[in-house]
Amino acid sequence: MKKLLSLKKHEYLLLTISFLIATVLVVFSLKELKSFNIKTVETSLVTVNKSSHEALKQWVRFRQNTIKGLSKNNFLVQNTSEILLLEQDSASLISSPITSDLREFFQPILSTNEDLGVFLIAPNYVSVFSMRNANTGSLNLMAKENKYLLDKVLLDGETVLIPPIKSDVALDSKYSDEKWHTMFLVTPIINQGNIIAAFSIRLDTKKDFSRILELGRIGETGESYGFNRFGKTVTTSRFEEQLNHTEDLEDVKADSSKSGFTHDLELCKGYALNEIKDQRGKDVYEVCIWDDELNIGITTKIDRAEALKGYLFMRNILIFIILALFTVGFIMINIIINLRQNKENVLVSVKNDLEITVKERTKELQHTIKTKDKFFSILAHDLRSPFSGLLVLLDLLLKNPEHFSETEKTNMLQEIHNSSSQLYKLLENLLSWSRSQTEAIVLNPENVSVWDLIDVNYSLQTQNAKSKK
């Protein structure tokens, strides 16, 4: 933290701007990546839904054409006309040889197509023929559950698919353990231009109907399934299978808010991607379409977590890269700051050393100046008197030479010579002393004769003393 505080203002600004730009870029990139991923999911779900829907329609058309062709069979039309003339009670219908002939007629057809049964339904909705005695002579199940569809057959002459409903009897299917699930294809039987009855084949929901939609399962959680106009699931569902393996299945089914067998029809407004929370409490993406011809809705969905797996992976990678870059940047900043700090430390050290050197040089200079002043003071004091004596002698010789004999002149010149020699030695000593004060020479002490020093100084001062008498 201390190192970061050593950043300069413009560096703080640059670092802040870089961080903000990086953050904006990351957020924008993640937003675009998520949007692209969701669009891809939508495209995939719509494609799977359309493919499953079209495959289901092709299968229904094929079966419709089959039952239409069968409804025109002369034997079937003739026997239907005759059985409608019988009393519509169970005993009369079951004991009729027509029933036996029709069962013998339908048995190989059902075995070939692996269908579960046949109904011949009178205009009053009574089942005048069935492969099972229990259903014969009673109000047909379709009239109870989907009367409006049965009316399309009996009144309008249409061939319709009755979506899966709860069966009135337990069914024996090799494709499913769900013995109470059934569905029908129903077409009119026409005799001499009149609709005389409805002919239906009971289909095995798990044989083809659910299997076609099971092809719409994508990934680990994606699936396609059908639901009726009440919003209840009518084909196999992965969620339904999960419920069947839970111990509290009945509790879940009993709670309509958690039931896996309902669907919101309001969501089926074209191939729009819906993000919802399903009955498991998980977020899912789904698209669905309602088919009026099939009388069912088809939805394709996938868990949001799986759908966005690619985006989440890329998001984590991008965040990791950004964090790594920030970490590297932080390390680089610390390195730069360390280098700068070391440089500043070196500069401070050099500055301190320079200040110490300046102080030492200043002190030396002051000492030199003092020595110089002292030297000049000594020169002024010690050389003035000898030179004064010399000047007096020279002045006497120059101004009054006739007053002195040759012997006195010679003595005076000798005196001048001796004084000059002593002055020269004194000057040399002073120069040596000044050099020693500036450490220009090495001091080498030795024993000297005090008498000689006194004699030299006595000689220097003699002439001056004489001139002063």
pLDDT digits (tens, 9 = 90+) for 85-112: 999 899 999 999 999 999 999 999 988 8
Record the pTM.
Answer: 0.62
The Cα–Cα gap between 202 and 184 comes to 5
Residues 345 and 204 in one domain: no
The Cα–Cα gap between 282 and 267 comes to 17
Mean per-residue pLDDT, 380-398: 75
Mean per-residue pLDDT, 25-45: 86
42 located within any domain: no
Mean per-residue pLDDT, 260-285: 75
66 located within any domain: no
Mean per-residue pLDDT, 333-361: 84
Q: Which two structure tokens, joined as six digits, stand for 148?
A: 């409006």
The Cα–Cα gap between 1 and 338 comes to 13
9 located within any domain: no
pLDDT, one tens digit per residue, over 7-16 is: 667 767 777 8
Rounded to the nearest 5°, which phi and psi values hold at 125?
Answer: 75, 15
Q: Are strands 296-303 and 223-227 parallel, antiparallel or unpaired?
A: antiparallel
**Residues 116, 176: contact at Cβ < 8 Å?**
no
Half-sphere exposure of 59 (CA within 13 A, CB side): 18
235 located within any domain: no
Q: In sequence order, which residues have a C-beta less than 8 Å from that of residue 81 and are 6 or more positions away?
A: 191, 196
126 located within any domain: yes
Nearest Cα to 172, choosing from 147, 125, 144, 207? 207
Grade residue 175 by pLDDT with cuts at 50, 70 and 90: low
pLDDT, one tens digit per residue, over 136-150 is: 889 988 888 888 889
Answer with the one of 159, 188, 212 that is the final residue of a domain.
212
354 located within any domain: yes
Q: In sequence order, which residues have a C-beta less than 8 Å from that of residue 149 and are 6 or more positions away?
A: 142, 160, 162, 186, 295
Question: Which one-letter DSSP state was computed for residue 468?
Answer: T
C-alpha 81 chain-centroid distance? 73
Residue 40 scores a pLDDT above 80: yes
Residue 454 scores a pLDDT above 80: yes
The Cα–Cα gap between 463 and 293 comes to 154
Rounded to the nearest 5°, which phi and psi values hold at 182?
Answer: -145, 160
In this structure, of 47-51, 171-175, 192-196, 368-372, the range with the lowest mean pLDDT score is 171-175
| CATH, residue 166 | 3.30.450.20
Answer with the one of 163, 194, 212 that is the final residue of a domain.
212
459 located within any domain: yes
Grade residue 83 by pLDDT with cuts at 50, 70 and 90: very high
What is the sign of the dihedral through the CA atoms of 246, 248, 254 and 256? negative
Grade residue 179 by pLDDT with cuts at 50, 70 and 90: low
Q: For position 65, what pLDDT does the model report?
A: 92
Q: Are strands 194-203 and 223-227 parallel, antiparallel or unpaired?
A: unpaired
Taking the alpha carbons at both ends of the chain, their separation in whole angstroms is 89
Q: Give the number of domains in the chain.
A: 2
- What kind and span of H or E run contains 88? none
**Residues 268, 290: contact at Cβ < 8 Å?**
yes
For residue 29, count other CB atoms closer than 10 A to its CB.
14
Residues 192 and 334 in one domain: no
What is the residue range of 134's domain?
A: 72-212
Residue 217 scores a pLDDT above 50: yes
Question: Which one-letter DSSP state was computed for residue 255?
Answer: -
Q: For position 70, what pLDDT does the model report?
A: 93
DSSP string, 322-357: HHHHHHHHHHHHHHHHHHHHHHHHHHHHHHHHHHHH
The Cα–Cα gap between 107 and 117 comes to 9
107 located within any domain: yes
Say which residue the tokens 């899912």 belong to. Answer: 284
Q: Which two structure tokens, joined as six digits, stand for 110?
A: 């059902």
For residue 51, count other CB atoms closer than 10 A to its CB.
15
Say which residue the tokens 């001048």 belong to. Answer: 416
Answer with the one of 163, 186, 212 that is the final residue of a domain.
212
**Residues 51, 339: contact at Cβ < 8 Å?**
no
pLDDT, one tens digit per residue, over 117-173 is: 899 999 999 999 998 888 888 998 888 888 888 999 999 999 998 888 777 766 666
Rounded to the nearest 5°, which phi and psi values hold at 201?
Answer: -115, 130
Mean per-residue pLDDT, 389-401: 78
pLDDT, one tens digit per residue, over 302-316 is: 888 888 888 888 888
pLDDT more than 90, % of the chain:
17
Grade residue 254 by pLDDT with cuts at 50, 70 and 90: very low
The Cα–Cα gap between 393 and 419 comes to 11
The Cα–Cα gap between 271 and 256 comes to 26
Residues 461 and 321 in one domain: yes
